[in-house]
Chains A and B, each alone.
Chain A
Amino acid sequence: MAFHEEKNALTREKRSAAISHYHGTLASLIADTAGEEIPQRVRTFTQAAHDDILSALTALRGIRDAAIVVHGAVGCAAAAGALARPGGARWYSVNLSERDSILGSEAPLRETILRAIAEGAAAVFVVGTPVVAINNDDVNAVLLTLEEETTVSVLHVNTDGFRSKSPLSGFDTALHALLRLVDAPESRGDFVNVLAVGDNIRNVAAIVGAIDALGIGWNLLPGPSSSLENIRKAGSARATVSLNDDESEYFGLGLEAAYGTPYLRLPAPVGRAATRRFVAGLAEAFGIDDEAQAWLRAREAALQELLSARPLAGKKVFLQLDTALVEGFSDLIHDLGGEVAGVALSNVDLNNRAHLARLEAAADIPALVAVGQPFEIANVLARTPVDYYIGPEQTAFAARFGVRPISLRGAVYYGHEGMHALAARFGGPHPDFRERVRRDYAENWLKKNGGWHVKREVR
């Protein structure tokens, strides 16, 4: 049985032994994750972190003809305003009250789904939350009843906010639901599925622009402005590629298992080398190697001025990224003349650990595994000489340590366009923000060993 036919997606911990904490060096991280099992450690102090619900919402938000029904209290959909894509899915909160948490939430759920359908949704995704999971509300019974009343697909995205410490599990749960919408292919089309799940719009635009330039047809899903049609026809693609396989490999592997659509394991297209491998991999699948090489030569020639300027010469950079991106970013920093001085990775598991091996040249640098947890990064920055800190968002805390933050929120860093754009961020005036940011963390903590608050998991 293909794994998308299972009732639920497994958590990342169960599927690929994902860890959510590590504190050590890159060399020790590589060594500790080399075996069949990866030892789990547990924090005794934590800061706010993303959960599987937010990842599922992120994965589904771009589907323009779908509705997202957040089956919880109104706060479980509070991020709707921030996550919603222009022209993307419509959002509904079932808006559960305390009474619903006692008496069950099936009736308001049914009412909300019917409303979404009446307001034009072509598919409805019911995203689970802790209240309904703890209450064991029978969502599937509601969905089964609706099957007799409507032809609109209503799918359960079985998230709960507490089963997994890895928010990436939520991408899998959402993609598990999407896989059920894919039509069995009758023939193979002349296009590639481009999986863009959490990627920002500028990155997606940069890559589909490059694929266009190569003359390859593409089917973007479930990214910005995608539709149910993009999902339904995914099985008939010639191949599938992820922009960030940490986030979307589940769908690629699912398609491959169910319909034989080849999943090209290509690196995230960040930096010169990874972009080259990404383009070459696509070109091979479509038999256009010569054209692609010519295109690459022209684009790389345009990079020469930037590379010879070495804007990061003598500079040290700390990276906080998804593991899928770290290899490309590391190459990019080196190409610009800089040096990676430390990494904080969102998730390391049996599937993505190979990305780390390529970084071995910098084995003595500090390495963390953390989703968010800026206090741990602050601890490293307080004791490690670093010039730049690159992080996903809310990066200002690093300025306290005299480090220049580079936030990736909304920034383009894919492909050759991304190289130019990122390099530009390192330039310009460097005002001193040390006294202009919050000083959240106790001096004692900043002097302590960064693994002081961690214990081994007791099973």
Chain B
Amino acid sequence: MASIRNPRAGCALHGALSTLEAIEGIVPIVQANAGCAIQHALAYRDSGGGYIGGQAVPAANIIDKQVIFGGGSRLREQIKNTVKVVEGRLYAVLGSCECAMVGDDLNGMAREAAEQGLPVVASNIAGFHGDVYRGYERIFLDLIDGLPTLESPPVPQCQDGERPLVNIFGIVPTANPYYKGDLQELQRILEAIGLRVNSFFGPDGHAALYSMPDAALNLVFSRWGEAIGAKLEEKYATPQLIFDAMPLGNEEVGLFVQALVERLDLDATAAERFLEREEAWSEYFLLGGADRYFDDGAGKRAVIVGDTETVLRIGGFLSRTLGVDIRTAIYTDRVEGEEEPADFGGAAHSTSDGEEIAEVLRVSGAELIFASSLEDAVAQTLGVPLLAVSHPVRDRFIADQTYAGLRGAVALSADTLTLARQGQRALEERLVRKIAAAGARTAA
């Protein structure tokens, strides 16, 4: 693999850790040297955190003795004492590069604890297995294998058990900085058309894991959920419906809802009524937006940087609905040698390298940038306003903000109008300074 300038995300261990931290009730136990979990904590410290995270994560902090002689007994005592110190409903042991190289038997240790009635599972993950997306995929695959070996906790009886249940996969916590709000919005739409939803990352995360096999359908919103959906299909015969990205905007949400209505035989009239009401609210919120859109110059040139799901969702909406001219799309999670899935009529690149991305931005002629906070510096140098839509997002504390579904479309439209105005203002200020400088030269 090629070197990376200014790495933007962590490794597979960090992806698994982000995933577990986002599930209420789960406590990760990291079998790694000190530093691995803190690298993750520092990389994501401004992301809002999860059930247990940061420097509170139980971690074995392996030392040279355990590298030489194996870390099994250290892990045994760590598991035994974690359940005594940290409140949790499920404990998940995560491996690391060094424990993979040393050959620590994580599954054996987890099984030993489970035989004593402790809710412990293990994942033989290692940082060098890949990026955070691989980590998300891997931990879910291991949970699907591991959970049936444990005694299932009592799951609250559902009041509306006749409503079909769907699982949501493919949205990687913190790799999508807006995942909380995005998933809540998807859940809102799905519940409105008559479904129950397991999004896993919310107040009921732990219980959702155990009801995962009960779903009528698995909804997959990026390639990183496909292997998970396939495994559930193989294991529980649950079919999956695969989308390239979460729906964003009335048009996309309409198609999405229609697909579900047909697939699960839902009440089409009720779904249509819901969509009409939502559309009316969207129009109400954005009243006056069209005037401003045309006043500030429609169809601004833009560059978008993010993982595939983000670029397809946000880039698609900007191009299709707001008429933003996407000159370049940069995908940060593509596998080497793969083709880019869409170019929006401009150019497309695959790279997560900070210098390569900066170079593309410098020559792009963009008037708006939709990217991460890592692109802030080059955006400032170019005098082009930036909206942070992909990881990492610094400075902004993200709670329920969303760029998905229907409410996300309103938010993105409003933020894009704001961005365009900021760009206009910055340009005017630069021109005033230029005129003043020219005036001073003339006077001299």
Q: Please say whether chains A and B are actual partners in one complex.
A: yes
- Name the residue in A75, A94, A444 with the highest tally of chain B Cβ atoms < 10 Å from its Cβ: A75
User: Cβ of B82 < 8 Å from any Cβ of A?
Assistant: yes
- Checking B37, B52, B98 against A130 with a beta-carbon cut-off of 8 angstroms, the contacting residue is B98
* 20 A-B contact pairs sorted by A residue (CB < 8 Å): A48-B38, A48-B55, A50-B35, A54-B39, A73-B128, A74-B10, A75-B12, A75-B36, A90-B5, A93-B4, A98-B129, A119-B5, A119-B355, A131-B101, A161-B34, A163-B63, A375-B56, A394-B56, A438-B51, A453-B85
Q: 12 more A-B contacts (CB under 8 A) besides A48-B61, A115-B5, A442-B84?
A: A48-B34, A75-B39, A80-B7, A81-B373, A90-B6, A98-B128, A130-B97, A161-B33, A161-B35, A162-B62, A394-B41, A438-B56
User: Cβ of A441 < 8 Å from any Cβ of B?
Assistant: yes
- Checking B10, B13, B64, B78 against A46 with a beta-carbon cut-off of 8 angstroms, the contacting residue is B78
CA distance in complex: A119, B354 (Å) = 12
- Checking A81, A96, A165, A393 against B8 with a beta-carbon cut-off of 8 angstroms, the contacting residue is A81
Task: Indicate whether A440 sits within 8 Å of B52 (C-beta atoms), given known contacts A83-B42, A445-B85.
Answer: yes
- In the complex, the answer to whether A75 meets B102 with C-beta atoms within 8 Å is no
- Checking A48, A79, A91 against B59 with a beta-carbon cut-off of 8 angstroms, the contacting residue is A48
- In the complex, the answer to whether B4 meets A78 with C-beta atoms within 8 Å is no
- Checking A74, A76, A96 against B131 with a beta-carbon cut-off of 8 angstroms, the contacting residue is A74
- In the complex, the answer to whether A48 meets B78 with C-beta atoms within 8 Å is no
Q: Which residues from A are CB-within-8-Å of B13?
A: 75
B1-24 contact mask (Cβ, 8 Å, vs A): 1 or 0: 111111111111110000000000
How large, as a class, is the contact surface on chain A?
35 or more
Q: For B85, give the chain A residue with the smallest CB separation.
A: A445
Q: Which residues from A are CB-within-8-Å of B58?
A: 45-48
- In the complex, the answer to whether A93 meets B56 with C-beta atoms within 8 Å is no
User: Cβ of A82 < 8 Å from any Cβ of B?
Assistant: yes
A123-163 contact mask (Cβ, 8 Å, vs B): 1 or 0: 00000001100110000000000000000000000001111
Q: Which residues from B are CB-within-8-Å of A441?
A: 85-87
Q: Which residues from B are CB-within-8-Å of A53?
A: 35
Shortest B137–chain A CB gap in Å is 15
Q: Which residues from A are CB-within-8-Å of B126?
A: 73, 98
B64-108 contact mask (Cβ, 8 Å, vs A): 1 or 0: 101100000000011011101111000000001110011000000
User: Cβ of B43 < 8 Å from any Cβ of A?
Assistant: yes
A159-173 contact mask (Cβ, 8 Å, vs B): 1 or 0: 011110101000000
- In the complex, the answer to whether A131 meets B56 with C-beta atoms within 8 Å is no
- In the complex, the answer to whether A131 meets B98 with C-beta atoms within 8 Å is yes
User: Cβ of B60 < 8 Å from any Cβ of A?
Assistant: yes
User: Cβ of A282 < 8 Å from any Cβ of B?
Assistant: no
Scan residues 40-54 of chain A and give those whose CB is less than 8 A from a CB of chain B. 44-54
Q: For A372, give the chain B residue with the smallest CB separation.
A: B55
User: Cβ of A351 < 8 Å from any Cβ of B?
Assistant: no
Scan residues 51-98 of chain A and give those whose CB is less than 8 A from a CB of chain B. 51-54, 69, 72-84, 90-98
Interface size on B, residues (CB 8 A): 66
- Checking A54, A84, A100, A101 against B38 with a beta-carbon cut-off of 8 angstroms, the contacting residue is A54
Shortest A418–chain B CB gap in Å is 24
- In the complex, the answer to whether B374 meets A81 with C-beta atoms within 8 Å is yes
User: Cβ of B392 < 8 Å from any Cβ of A?
Assistant: yes
Closest 10 CB pairs of A and B: A75-B11, A51-B35, A78-B10, A48-B37, A45-B81, A161-B33, A79-B42, A112-B3, A82-B42, A73-B127
User: Cβ of A374 < 8 Å from any Cβ of B?
Assistant: yes
User: Cβ of B45 < 8 Å from any Cβ of A?
Assistant: yes
Q: Which B residues fall within an 8 A CB radius of A?
A: 1-14, 30, 33-43, 45, 51-52, 54-64, 66-67, 77-78, 80-82, 84-87, 96-98, 101-102, 126-129, 131, 355, 373-374, 392, 394
Q: Which residues from A are CB-within-8-Å of B1?
A: 95-97, 100, 108
User: Cβ of A36 < 8 Å from any Cβ of B?
Assistant: no
- Checking B14, B51, B59, B67 against A75 with a beta-carbon cut-off of 8 angstroms, the contacting residue is B14
Q: Which residues from A are CB-within-8-Å of B6?
A: 80-81, 84, 90-91
User: Cβ of A278 < 8 Å from any Cβ of B?
Assistant: no
CA distance in complex: A305, B254 (Å) = 66
Q: Which residues from A are CB-within-8-Å of B101?
A: 101, 130-131, 134-135
Shortest B67–chain A CB gap in Å is 6
- Name the residue in A51, A53, A374 with the highest tally of chain B Cβ atoms < 10 Å from its Cβ: A51
CA distance in complex: A303, B59 (Å) = 44
Task: Indicate whether A374 sits within 8 Å of B56 (C-beta atoms), given known contacts A440-B86, A445-B84.
Answer: yes
- Checking A44, A72, A84, A95 against B78 with a beta-carbon cut-off of 8 angstroms, the contacting residue is A44
User: Cβ of A397 < 8 Å from any Cβ of B?
Assistant: yes
Q: For A111, give the chain B residue with the smallest CB separation.
A: B3
Q: Which residues from B are CB-within-8-Å of A84?
A: 6
Q: Which residues from B are CB-within-8-Å of A93?
A: 3-4, 7
- In the complex, the answer to whether B55 meets A374 with C-beta atoms within 8 Å is yes
Shortest B141–chain A CB gap in Å is 17
Shortest A165–chain B CB gap in Å is 6
- Checking B64, B81, B96, B355 against A453 with a beta-carbon cut-off of 8 angstroms, the contacting residue is B81
Shortest B130–chain A CB gap in Å is 8
Q: Which residues from A are CB-within-8-Å of B85?
A: 45, 375, 441-442, 445, 453
CA distance in complex: A83, B39 (Å) = 10
Q: Which residues from A are CB-within-8-Å of B35?
A: 49-54, 161, 167
- Checking A91, A111, A131, A375 against B128 with a beta-carbon cut-off of 8 angstroms, the contacting residue is A131
- Checking A49, A69, A130, A160 against B55 with a beta-carbon cut-off of 8 angstroms, the contacting residue is A49
Q: Which residues from A are CB-within-8-Å of B7?
A: 74, 77-78, 80-81, 91, 93, 95
- In the complex, the answer to whether B52 meets A438 with C-beta atoms within 8 Å is yes
Q: For B54, give the chain A residue with the smallest CB separation.
A: A394
Q: Which residues from A are CB-within-8-Å of B4?
A: 74, 77, 92-93, 95
User: Cβ of A439 < 8 Å from any Cβ of B?
Assistant: yes
Q: Which residues from A are CB-within-8-Å of B78?
A: 44-46
Q: Which residues from A are CB-within-8-Å of B38?
A: 48-51, 54, 79, 372
CA distance in complex: A439, B88 (Å) = 10
- In the complex, the answer to whether B3 meets A79 with C-beta atoms within 8 Å is no
- In the complex, the answer to whether A92 meets B5 with C-beta atoms within 8 Å is yes
Shortest B43–chain A CB gap in Å is 4
Q: Which residues from B are CB-within-8-Å of A115?
A: 3, 5
Shortest B53–chain A CB gap in Å is 9
- Checking B10, B14, B128, B374 against A101 with a beta-carbon cut-off of 8 angstroms, the contacting residue is B128
Shortest A161–chain B CB gap in Å is 4
- Checking B34, B84, B129, B392 against A49 with a beta-carbon cut-off of 8 angstroms, the contacting residue is B34
- Checking A95, A112, A134, A163 against B102 with a beta-carbon cut-off of 8 angstroms, the contacting residue is A134
Q: Which residues from B are CB-within-8-Å of A438?
A: 51-52, 56
Q: Which residues from A are CB-within-8-Å of B34?
A: 48-51, 161-162, 165, 167, 371
CA distance in complex: A443, B115 (Å) = 25
CA distance in complex: A74, B3 (Å) = 9
CA distance in complex: A46, B80 (Å) = 12
Q: For A119, give the chain B residue with the smallest CB separation.
A: B355
Q: For B129, give the chain A residue with the smallest CB separation.
A: A98
Q: Which residues from B are CB-within-8-Å of A111?
A: 2-3
- In the complex, the answer to whether A75 meets B98 with C-beta atoms within 8 Å is no
- In the complex, the answer to whether A79 meets B98 with C-beta atoms within 8 Å is no
Q: Which residues from A are CB-within-8-Å of B43?
A: 78-79, 81-82
Q: For B27, give the chain A residue with the smallest CB separation.
A: A440
Q: Which residues from B are CB-within-8-Å of A79?
A: 38-39, 42-43
CA distance in complex: A95, B60 (Å) = 24
- In the complex, the answer to whether A51 meets B33 with C-beta atoms within 8 Å is yes
CA distance in complex: A95, B128 (Å) = 8
